[in-house]
């Protein structure tokens, strides 16, 4: 009985994994990326964190000098939203032409990147990058890279937009994020996001 129970649990875990996808996007301030992707049907979880640096266990205080980008790990249901659709939304929520950061946040830690988990994601990400460059009619600086270890950020950064809505709105408006994205992308800005 125990063996059958363990086998069933393993089968359930495998089935759950098959019904779950993961995407990792760096799009400037992780509070904003997390907030945007929390408004997409089929997204199950977003986690703010750090990726790409030279040392383990980066923190908010060390991530810039460590060479990490702020990023968000997105867990989603592929039967409700595709990786391709998430990529399209990602590019239309950032300024992918800016190689020096995003909006008021400057420097490598706030630059854009798609971190891929396999070759299929890599091919889709390169295609989405090419599409963005074609639509914008200018070069896209966003990097497409194989994902190294993703390190979740401190708890106070998680769901910051929900826990601190006034401070979050003040930051987002003051940073000029929405204004720049709408100016750059026009009607395609925030494609796929339900802001209800």
Distances from the Cα of 14 to the Cαs of 45, 80, 94, 164, in angstroms? 19, 19, 34, 37
Digit-coded pLDDT (tens) for 94-116: 999 999 999 999 999 999 999 99
Helix, strand, or coil (residue 183)? helix
pLDDT > 70: percent of the chain: 90
Please, what is the average pLDDT of the chain? 91
Residue 16 has pLDDT above 50, yes or no: no
Predicted local distance difference test score (pLDDT) of residue 129: 98
**Which residues, 6 or more positions from 162, have their beta carbon under 8 angstroms from its beta carbon?**
38
CA distance 157 to 149: 19
Helix, strand, or coil (residue 21)? strand
**pLDDT mean over 170-189:** 96
Active-site residue 29, yes or no? yes
CA distance 119 to 4: 35
Predicted local distance difference test score (pLDDT) of residue 19: 82
Predicted local distance difference test score (pLDDT) of residue 7: 39
**pLDDT mean over 114-140:** 98
**Which residues, 6 or more positions from 66, have their beta carbon under 8 angstroms from its beta carbon?**
50, 53, 54, 55, 58
Predicted local distance difference test score (pLDDT) of residue 177: 96
Which is nearest to 163 in space by CA: 34, 43, 68?
Answer: 34
Digit-coded pLDDT (tens) for 18-76: 689 999 999 999 999 999 999 999 999 999 999 999 999 999 999 999 999 999 999 99
Residue 190 has pLDDT above 90, yes or no: yes
Predicted local distance difference test score (pLDDT) of residue 194: 84
pTM of the model: 0.89
Predicted local distance difference test score (pLDDT) of residue 18: 63
Predicted local distance difference test score (pLDDT) of residue 69: 98
For 126, half-sphere exposure in the C-beta direction (CA atoms, 13 angstrom radius) is 7
Burial class (CB in 10 A: 0-12, 13-18, 19+), 116: buried
Distances from the Cα of 88 to the Cαs of 12, 84, 161, in angstroms? 31, 6, 22
């Amino acid at each position: 009985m125990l063996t059958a129970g363990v086998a069933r649990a393993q089968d359930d875990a495998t089935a759950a994994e098959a019904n779950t996808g993961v995407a990792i996007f760096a799009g400037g301030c992780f509070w904003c990326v997390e907030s945007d992707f929390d408004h997409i049907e089929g997204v199950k979880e977003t986690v703010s964190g750090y990726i790409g640096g030279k040392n383990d266990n980066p923190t908010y205080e060390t991530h810039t000098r460590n060479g990490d980008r702020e990023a968000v790990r997105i867990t989603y249901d592929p039967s409700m939203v595709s990786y391709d659709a998430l990529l399209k939304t990602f590019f239309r929520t950032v300024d992918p032409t800016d190689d020096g950061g995003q909006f008021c946040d400057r420097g490598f830690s706030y630059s854009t990147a798609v971190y891929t988990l396999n070759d299929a994601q890599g091919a889709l990400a390169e295609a989405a990058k090419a599409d963005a460059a074609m639509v914008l009619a200018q070069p896209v600086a966003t990097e497409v890279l194989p994902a190294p270890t993703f390190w979740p950020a401190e708890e106070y950064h998680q769901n910051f937009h929900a826990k601190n809505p006034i401070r979050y709105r003040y930051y987002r408006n003051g940073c000029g994020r929405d204004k720049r994205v709408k100016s750059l992308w026009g009607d395609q800005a925030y494609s796929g996001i339900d802001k209800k």
